[in-house]
Structure 1
Amino acid sequence: MDINKSPTFDGTLKRVRTEVSDSSSSDEESMLSSLTVKKSRVISLDIWPRFLVIESSNDGALQKLSPFAVEKVLQGLAGEPKSVKKLKNGSLLVECSTESHSKCLLKSKMLCNISIKVSVHKSLNSSKGVIRSRDLEGVSEDEICENLSSQGVSFVKRIRVRRNNELVPTNTFIITFDKPLLPESIKAGYLNIPVVPFIPNPLRCFKCQKYGHGQNTCRGKMTCARCGQFDHESKTCHIDISCTNCKGNHFAYSRECPRWQLEKRIQQVRVAKRVSFPEARKLVETKSAVAVEKSYAAAVKVSTTSTSVQTDLTWPDGVDRYQKLSDVEKAQKRAAKAVQMLCPKCP
C-alpha cells in the first residue's frame, strides 16, 4: 500500500499529508520569517545622523577660516560631504552623504588646528508624519511605538480634540521617525497605512500675540487677543474685536487672519523643502513680495492702444484704410440703386 494513501470506511484510498510536506511548509515559513527579520534589520541599520553641527570652543574661530581650507579638511576626514552651510552663530551645518563620513565627523576633535565639537542636529535628523486608521482605536501609543521601532519610529502621539470641554482621543497619530526622509507608508501588523507629512500650526506667543516665539522668551508687552490693546487679557475684555497683527475684525488667533495664513505657509515650506525656519520665512516673504509687485505693476499699467489701431485691426493686412472706406461707399451706392430699381417710388 502506498504510504501517501490511507483507506477510508468505504474501502477507497485517500491521499493524506505526510511529514515531509509538513517540514517543507515549515521551512518555507521559517525562510519568510528570516527574510522579514533581515528586512527589519536593514531598515534599522539605515538610520544614522545625516546632519551634523560643527562648533568651536572659541567664539568666531570658524568664521575666520578659509572656505577652501574647511572643504579640504572635511574631504580628508571621510570624503566629500553632500552640503555645508554656515549658521548664524558661526557654526557649520554639514550634511553627510555616507554613514562612515558621519561617524568620522562625530569622532573629530580638531578642524584646521581649532578645537571643535561635533553634535547631531536636533531636528533635521528626524521627521514627523501623520497616520490615520480606525483599526488602531484601542491600541496604546506605547504598543504602536514598540512594534514600529524596526521601521525607525521613535515616538508616537495620539491627537486629542476638545468636545464639550473634554479631550477625546481620535484615530489620528503623529509619528516621529529617526530619519530625515519620511516614508510613504508603514507596516502596522497586517495594515499598510499611508504616511503624510506633519505640518505644525504657527507658533504664537500667548503674551504679545506675535508669531515666531513663545511666551517664555517674550520681551513684548501683555497684549489682548481680542481687542489688541495692552496690559489686560482677553478673558476679561469687552472691547470691540480687533486683531493686533493685521487690524482685522477677528481675534489674534483666528485662522482667517492673513498673518496666520502666512505663518502656515512658512511651516509648509519648511517641511517640504527641509530647510530651517529662517530660510523658509525668507523664501515665503520673497515670493509674496514678488507677487505683490507684479499685481501692483499690472494695476498701474496704462494701455497704449489707440482707436486708430483698433480700427486698423478690422481691415485685412496690406489694404489701405482710406481705399477700403471708398470701396464701402461704392457698395452702398450700388445697394441704393438696386433698391430704386425694385421700388421706383422709394426716395
Structure 2
Amino acid sequence: MPPGANSLGNNRFALLSPGPKNKRKKPENSTLEFFPELPISKKDDPKYLIIKSQDAKKPIASTSCFAVHKGIQAISKEINKITPLRDGSLLLLVKNQKIADKFLQTKHLPGAGAVEVSLHNSLNSVKGTIYAPFICQLADDEIIDGLKDQGVSEVYKFTKRNNGDRVPTGALLLTFDKYTLPSRIEVAWCTLDVRPYYPNPMRCKICQLLGHTAKRCNKPPACAICNLPPNHTPPTECSRVKCANCDGDHPSSSNACPKYVQSKEILKIKTIHKCSMREAINLYKSQKPSTPSSFSYANVTASNNNNINIEKTSNTNNSNDKIKASTSKNIATNIHSIHSDCPVTPSPSVSSLYNSPSPPFSPLSTTTSPTTITRSSTSPVPSSHPQSHTQVPIDT
C-alpha cells in the first residue's frame, strides 16, 4: 500500500489530540542503603565521693560548715547532694566523672585544711543479672575482659546442687561501674536483657535471726523449726513449729515469713535509692504505715482505762441498787411504824401495795384528831409509789 496520510476515520480532529503517554518504567530493585546509626547520647553518670580530713583529731565536721561549703563551691558548683557521715567526713554526689576528677585531684580544701578525696566503694556501682548459659564455661577474667567496655567490673555465676555437685544455672550476676543499670548488654553477637538484682536478707544459721550471719553471732543456738535449743534431731523430734523472727507457725527459714518479706522490701528500697538502712526503713514506714502493736504502752494504758471505767460503772450501778434497796426498805419501815402507832383497821401488806395492779386505798386524810386516819371516798388515784405526808392538826 503506498504511503499516504493517516487514516482519520470519521474523526477529523484526531491529529490534534495528543499521542499516547509513554509508560514509566518500574525502578529496578536496588538494595536500599541503611541510614547510619546515630551516636548514642551519653547521659551524665553521677559519682559518689568521700572527702575526709587527713588529721584524724580534726574532722571536717568540727570546722566551720560555711567555710567548707565555700571551699567546695570553689572547686565546682555542679554538686547534686552533700551528706555528713558519722565519722565526720562528707559524702558528695557530683554530676559526672569529669567533675569527680577535679575533686580527686584536690589535696587542700579551703576551710578544712589537708583532705583526702576518694570514690565510694559501693555506691558507684549497680548489679544486674543476665541469662547466658553459653558463657558459663568461660573463666571470670575472660568474661570481664570481654564486657569491660560496657562497664562490667565483676561477675558471679549462680550455681545449684545436682547430685552433690555444684552446677551453673546459666544466670550471671554482673557488677557495672555505673550509677544507673543498663537495660541491655551485648555479649558477643547476642543482645541480652539486664534485670535489676536485689539482695536477700541475711539469716544466721545459729540463732535463726535475720540481720546477721553466723560469723558475727553471739547468741545461743536455736533450732530452725521449733526455735528451741538444738539438742534433738529435727524435724522428727521437734515438739512444735515456731519462727524465731515473728513467732509464727512456720520454720525460721521460710521465705513466706512476714519479717523476711518486710526485710526484703526494705533492702529493695535501699538498693533503688542508694541510701542507708535507716533511711530505707523510714521510707518503708512512710509507704506502708504499720498498725500499732497490741502490746504497746498506749494500747495497754487504754485497756487499763477501759477496765477502770467499767469497774467504776459497775460499782456505781451496785451503789445505786443498794441506795434504792435501802430507800425502799426505809419507806416500808416508816409505813409499818405508822400502822403500828395508829389504831386503824388492818390494811394490806407493803408487798401487796407494790404487787397489786390497782391501789388498795386512797391517800391519807386527816381529821380533828392527828392520830385518826380515815379513808376518803372521793380521793384521787394514788401514785405508783406511796409517799409519807406530815399532817398538821387543825383546830375546829
What letter corresponds to residue 72 of structure 1 in structure 2? K
In structure 2, C-alpha distance between the alignment counterparts of 1:176 and 1:233, rounded to whole Å:
43
Residues 1:175 and 2:184 aligned together: no
Structure 1 partner of 2:228: 229
Change (3 A) 1:138 1:100: closer
CA distance in 2, matches of 1:59, 1:120: 22
Distance across 1 between alignment mates of 2:190 and 2:161: 28
Shift of 1:137: 5.3
Are 1:78 and 1:100, in contact at CA under 8 Å, matched by a contact in 2?
Answer: no
Q: Which residue of 2 aligns with 1:255?
A: 255
**Which residue identity lines up with residue 250 of structure 1 in the other structure?**
H
Deviation string for 1:116-165 (max 9, x for gaps)? Answer: 32222111011110011354455444332221111011111111112343
Q: Check 1:285–1:221 CA distance in 2 against 1; reply closer, same or farther (3 A cut).
A: farther
TM superposition shift of 1:200 = 1.1
| The one of 80, 93, 118 aligned to 1:95 | 93
Is 2:46–2:96's contact at 8 Å kept on the other side of the alignment? no
Amino acid at match of 1:50: K
Aligned length: 255
Radius of gyration: which is bigger? 2
* Residue from 40, 46, 52 that aligns with 1:55: 52
List gaps (5 residues or longer) in structure 1.
Answer: 1-27, 294-347
CA shift, 1:224, in A, is 2.9
What does 1:44-193 align with in structure 2 at a 5 Å threshold?
50-56=47-53, 57-58=55-56, 61-111=59-109, 112-136=111-135, 138-193=137-192
**Partner Cα separation in structure 2 for residue 233 and residue 123 of structure 1:** 42
- 2:278 aligned with 1:281: no
RMSD: 3.2
Q: Is residue 46–residue 95 contact of structure 2 (8 Å, CA) maintained in 1? A: no
Of 110-119 and 83-92, deviating more is 110-119
| 2:311 match | none
Cα separation, 2, equivalents of 1:122 and 1:63: 21
The offset of 1:192, in angstroms, is 1.0
Matches of 2:275 and 2:202, distance apart in 1: 17
Deviation string, structure 1 residues 296-344 (Cα, Å, up to 9, x no partner): xxxxxxxxxxxxxxxxxxxxxxxxxxxxxxxxxxxxxxxxxxxxxxxxx
1:93-136 CA-partner distances (Å, limit 9, x unpaired): 11111323212222323332343322221110111100113544
TM-score (normalised: structure 1): 0.64
Q: Percent identity?
A: 31
Contact 1:223 1:232 in 2 (8 A): no
Q: Which residue of 2 aligns with 1:10?
A: none
Structure 2: runs of 5+ lacking an equivalent: 1-32, 293-396
Instruction: Give the aligned residue type for 2:149.
Output: S
Structure 2 length normalisation: TM-score? 0.57
Which residue of the partner structure matches residue 5 of structure 2? none
Quick check: which one's helix share is greater? 1
Q: Are residues 155 and 291 of structure 1, via their aligned partners in 2, closer, same or farther at CA, if it must alter by over 3 Å?
A: same
Contact 1:79/1:101 (8 A) holds in 2 = no
User: Comparing both chains, which one has the higher relative contact order based on Cα–Cα distances under 8 Å and sequence gaps of 6 or more?
Assistant: 1
Residue 208 of structure 2 corresponds to residue 209 of structure 1 = yes
Matches within 5 A, 1:298-337: none
Judged with a 3 Å threshold, the aligned counterparts in structure 2 of structure 1 residues 233 and 173 are, in CA distance, closer, same or farther, namely farther
Cα gap change, 1:209/1:123 in structure 2, threshold over 3 Å: closer, same or farther?
Answer: same
